[in-house]
Amino acid sequence: MIQPATSDLITVTIDGREVSVPKGTNMIEAARRVGVDVPHYCYHSKLSVVGNCRMCLVETGMPAVDPATKAPVIDPATGKQRVNWGPRPAIACATNAMPGLHVRTTSPLVKDCREGVMEFLLVNHPLDCPICDQAGECKLQEQSAGYGRGYSRYIEQKNVKPKRTLLGPRVMLDDERCILCSRCIRFCKEIAKDDVLGFTDRGSYTTLTCYPGRRLEGNYSLNTVDICPVGALTSTDFRFKMRVWFLKQTPSIDAESSAGANTLLWSREGVVYRITPRQNDAVNDTWMADSGRALYKAIRGDGRLDCARVNGAESALDLAVKAAAELLLRGGAAVVGSGRSSVEEQFLTRKLAVALKAKAWLVSRVGEGDRILVSADRNPNVRGALVTGLVDALPSGRLDALGALIDSGSVTSVVSMGEDLAAAGLSAAQLARVSVIYLGTHANATSAAAKVVISTLTVFEKHGTFINQQFRIQRFARAVPGPAGATDDLVALSRLLGAVGRPIATADVGALWTAIASEVPALAMMSYGNIPDTGLQVDGTPWAGLPFAEGPGLHYSPAAPAGKEASRG
């Protein structure tokens, strides 16, 4: 959050503790700052306030003043100004900071309000926690334990509503579990701009449904599952796969585009089960695209390379590195780096290119931006390649110039950092003319044509950093180990560097940063350890003039939007 100017701060008192908050802050957020939990369901910090769950009812009051003299009324017992408490409880989510506002969150009335709302929410709830995917991360469970009465007075029949309604390809709805908080409806309307959800019927029979003839199938549909406070909306992909309390959470970055949404990888015993967004108010708020959540499937996808190969035969890593070095040291080498490599890998790739006196190339991947969190540049880290000096201009989508050099015979060996050279425009004949050294995770035409293949790790299996479209450097961490036979990219690159006569001291990502900080001007003074979980802004002005592909998106507007549309809020 941007630090506000002090003049805009308003002091409120919550449970006797004073806190200064920016103008416009509501009492749920203000209470959070003093460590007070105000339970809520419908309120979401990134959505409009509707105040329909009534769980956040608190008592509010203003300091008493004498109506005639306007002088403060002092309570003789405490010596402090008396507080006039309002006759009715107020919802904290719609109560914004006012000078002198007092809030009570623990009084008997507030306790009674919470118990009442909890009881009401549960009377028509199926209470099928044992078979519900939300169990363990369910606000209804948490808050009924925290604020409910613990017993039921309800002996009537519960309402019957539709079960197992497929709202779209990725989202399943159980209407009986729904507490009608309308978060999903507001998300679709306000963030995804795809207003397909709504309520039909009324009263307690109100039912969440899709607009007739439409489906919840936009690329942001799974965010509704994330923000659903109960088990009403579940992911068809994750449903019934694993209990959430068994899962380990690892912070990561969405590698599908340069937007760089912050994510959490949920894994257990070496298997990733799902990817969800991680809050970063400067990048993705609390959202991410559905497409980025499916990326973990590549870990166990078809064609995963699981050992080093020399001329097609399985090989030990040492022998493969030796064979690669021999090919490269003959001269006429080229290095094809990748916008999907981490900053650290790009740093070492550059060192390799320098060692081989080779030109470094990069392949761009440009698609349509969706104006939210999938940017036009589908490489997550082109800016990393610029910042580390691997390349000094924006890449093109094809390697035709490299092809010409191959045709002319001036390039005889190519190192590819996971890029499919055939897809980038090199013909089979050109690939056959050169010795290809391929470091990558999955098999493709290039790996098939390569003399040396070193299998490496996906973004889920290693540590590193990406620099996103905002020039924000963000870390990702290893959630699961790679397959046996795969080598960390940094290890593979450092071995190659050693084999071509330029050994480096370490392949450890943390230690490598000592070298990065001293050699890369834009990253000076940084270290891997002190990059916060939400990233750090890098000065991108040296590259401000480049014609980047990205259009406006969430929290991003292009630097030089000549003729492009204005950014969204």
Partner 1 sequence: MPAPEQYRMIFRHIDEPGYSNDLACYVRNGGYEVLRRAVKRRPEELVDEVKRSGLLGRGGAGFPCGVKWTLLDRRSGKPVYLIVNADESEPGTFKDRYIIHQDPHQLIEGIMITCFANKVERAFIYIRGEFPQGARILEKAIAEARAANFAGPDILGTGYGCEIYVHRGAGAYICGEETGLIESLEGKRPYPRIKPPYYPAVLGLYQCPTIVNNVETLCHVKHIADMGGEAFSKIGTLNNTGTRIYCVSGHVQRPGYYEFALGKITLGQLLYEVCGGPLPGRKFKAVIPGGSSAKVLRFGERFRGKRKVGVEMVEYDWGVEDIPLDFASLATAGSMGGSGGVIVMDDSVSMVEALGNINAFYAHESCGQCTPCREGSLWMKKITARMVHGEARAEDGALLKSVADQIAGRTICAFGEACAWPTQSFVAKFGDEFKAYAQAKKETGAREAPELV
Q: Residues interacting with partner 1, by CB under 8 A?
A: 49-55, 57, 87-89, 91, 94, 112-113, 116-117, 119-121, 123-124, 153-154, 156-157, 159, 179-180, 198-199, 201-206
* Shortest spacing between CB 148 and partner 1, in angstroms: 13
Contact 98, 198 (CB under 8 A): no
Nearer to partner 1, 154 or 246 (CB): 154
Interatomic CA distance for residues 354 and 348, integer angstroms: 10
* Shortest spacing between CB 177 and partner 1, in angstroms: 14
Interatomic CA distance for residues 433 and 437, integer angstroms: 13
* Shortest spacing between CB 513 and partner 1, in angstroms: 49
Nearer to partner 1, 88 or 357 (CB): 88
Half-sphere exposure of 157 (CA within 13 A, CB side): 3
3-state secondary structure at position 309: strand
* Shortest spacing between CB 134 and partner 1, in angstroms: 18
Rg value, the chain, Cα: 28
Which residues lie across from 436 on neighbouring strands? Answer: 414
What does each C-alpha distance from 207 to 141, 506, 547 come to in angstroms?
Answer: 21, 59, 48
Interatomic CA distance for residues 398 and 536, integer angstroms: 32
* Shortest spacing between CB 485 and partner 1, in angstroms: 56
Half-sphere exposure of 125 (CA within 13 A, CB side): 22
Enter the tokens of residue 224: 């509704």
Nearer to partner 1, 111 or 564 (CB): 111
Nearer to partner 1, 88 or 164 (CB): 88
* Shortest spacing between CB 89 and partner 1, in angstroms: 6
Nearer to partner 1, 52 or 279 (CB): 52
H helix count then E strand count, the chain: 14, 24
Nearer to partner 1, 154 or 211 (CB): 154
The pair phi, psi for residue 116, each rounded to 5°, is -65, -50
* Shortest spacing between CB 510 and partner 1, in angstroms: 50
* Shortest spacing between CB 180 and partner 1, in angstroms: 6
3-state secondary structure at position 294: coil
Nearer to partner 1, 156 or 269 (CB): 156
- Residues 550, 552, 557: CA angle, nearest 5 degrees: 95
Contact 426, 397 (CB under 8 A): no
First to last CA, the chain: 15
Find the farthest-apart pair of alpha carbons in the chain and give their distance in angstroms, rounded.
Answer: 96
* Shortest spacing between CB 232 and partner 1, in angstroms: 15
* Shortest spacing between CB 121 and partner 1, in angstroms: 6
Nearer to partner 1, 228 or 255 (CB): 228
* Shortest spacing between CB 124 and partner 1, in angstroms: 6
Nearer to partner 1, 176 or 256 (CB): 176
- Nearest-CA neighbor of 503 among 360, 345, 351, 347? 351
* Shortest spacing between CB 210 and partner 1, in angstroms: 15
Interatomic CA distance for residues 84 and 82, integer angstroms: 7
For 278, residues 6+ apart whose C-beta sits below 8 A from its C-beta are 251, 262, 263, 264, 533
β-strands 413-416, 435-440 pairing? parallel
Nearer to partner 1, 57 or 283 (CB): 57
Nearer to partner 1, 205 or 246 (CB): 205
Q: Between helices 343-355 and 509-519, what is the axis angle to 10°?
A: 60
Nearer to partner 1, 96 or 381 (CB): 96
3-state secondary structure at position 81: strand
The pair phi, psi for residue 232, each rounded to 5°, is -70, -45
